Amino acid sequence: MTHKESTWSLMKKNRQSYGLMAPYFILFFMFTILPVMIAIVLSFTNFNMLQAPRFVGWANYTRLLLENEIFIIALQNTLIFAVVTGPLSFILCFIFAWIINDMPPKVRAFMTLVFYAPSISGNVFFMWQVFFSGDRMGLVNGFLINLGILDDPINFFRDARFIMPILIIVQLWMSLGVGFLAFIAGLQTVDKALYEAGAVDGIRNRWQELWYITLPSMKPQLLFAAVMQITTSFAIADVVTTLAGMPTVNYAGDTIVTHLQDIGWIRFEMGYASAVATILFLLMVGTNKGVQRMLRKVGT
């Protein structure tokens, strides 16, 4: 470009580009951007779907953080999920993709299916109900009773001590999703010449190879997968309500999202629920941004 054109004339020149983007972005604005704005605005009102919303200032937030013990429990549970399943699933995604990568293509395809299937198979997580069913018919109870380790079955989903650990297991089980596929693909595209150069330069074992060559070459995939894993681990809800009920016993497994659904869809306190949604939004985006900053440092 020889001279600087004004933004407006550049935009006019590219009107076809904007035209192509318009259908998607009109909907994207309507169903993704606008809702976030509305949630933030509503979080300062007492909207209940019947009367017009009335401005209440920070009341919803103070009520949530100071008076609502369930929210604090839900927040804690969500953070536990995020801190445990987020990083763990991220690391598992990588390790498995990395091990599978050396295998012959057919075996690799099969193993990919084995690990990826849980995340796309819809309601198969119902099956964990069969494993941890509270009566003697549950596989775990049946097994332990049969061995004589237990006399009476444990009511796993009604016992506050077991709810979180089991939910974490189930969540990890279904967490090898898109991020896992990104790693598999990324590993296959790492330039082989780098490994050869590395061997010449004195890379001694596969761990050094991993740290000095593979990880730095895969930084873009690391960033992408991190976003996928973090966003999923903050949004845990369906697994909780399906397996442990709503609400869970002593709220032992409730998360921000289940609490949000409770306030919004059962009690219709939309302003209050919007405050929960806004906090969830800030938590998710904040964590994602923080982790992105951290991961950018890999290999530098």
Choose the stretch contacting another protein; rule: CB under 8 A; options: 62-70, 73-81, 245-253, 292-300.
Answer: 292-300
For tokens 């949530």, name the residue.
64
Contact between 122 and another protein by CB under 8 A: the answer reads: yes
Give the containing element (helix H, strand E) for 20: helix 15-28
CB of 275 to another protein, least distance (A): 11
Residue 99 interacting with another protein (CB under 8 A): yes
Kindly state whether residue 299 participates in binding another protein, applying the rule CB under 8 A: yes
Give me the least distance between CB of 51 and another protein, in Å please: 14
Residue 87: CB minimum distance to another protein, A: 16
Stretches 60-68, 69-77, 110-118, 246-254: which one binds another protein (CB under 8 A)? Answer: 110-118
Tokens representing residue 258 in the block = 């289940």
As a whole number of angstroms, the distance between CA 172 and CA 93 comes to 10
Asked if residue 233 lies in contact with residue 81, where contact means CB atoms within 8 angstroms, the answer is yes
Residues 6+ positions from 55 with CB-CB distance below 8 Å: 44, 45
91 is an interface residue for another protein by CB under 8 A: no
Structure tokens at 152: 């009476």
Residue 45, beta-bridge partner list: 55
| From 58, 91, 208, 267, residue interacting with another protein (rule: CB under 8 A) | 208
For the chain, how long is the longest CA-to-CA vector? Answer: 84
- Whichever of 90 and 115 has its CB closer to another protein, that residue is 115
Of 59-67, 77-85, 141-149, 156-164, the window that binds another protein (rule: CB under 8 A) is: 141-149
Instruction: Count residues near another protein (CB under 8 A).
Output: 121
The single residue among 16, 57, 149, 297 that binds another protein, judged by CB under 8 A, is: 16
Distance between CA atoms of residues 227 and 12, nearest Å: 35
Contact assessment for residue 112 and residue 181, using Cβ atoms and an 8 Å cutoff: yes
Name 55's bridge partners: 45
Task: Please report where in the chains the tokens 């991961």 appear, as a residue.
Answer: 295
Rounded to the nearest whole angstrom, what is the least distance from the CB of residue 142 to another protein in the complex? 4
Q: Least distance from C-beta 165 to another protein, angstroms?
A: 15
Name the 3-class secondary structure at 157. Answer: helix
Residue of the chain from 55, 58, 220, 290 that contacts another protein (CB under 8 A): 220
As a whole number of angstroms, the distance between CA 210 and CA 88 comes to 18
Q: Is 120 in the site for another protein (CB under 8 A)?
A: yes
Residues 223-262 that bind another protein (CB under 8 A): 223-224, 227-228, 230-232, 234-235, 237, 257, 260-261
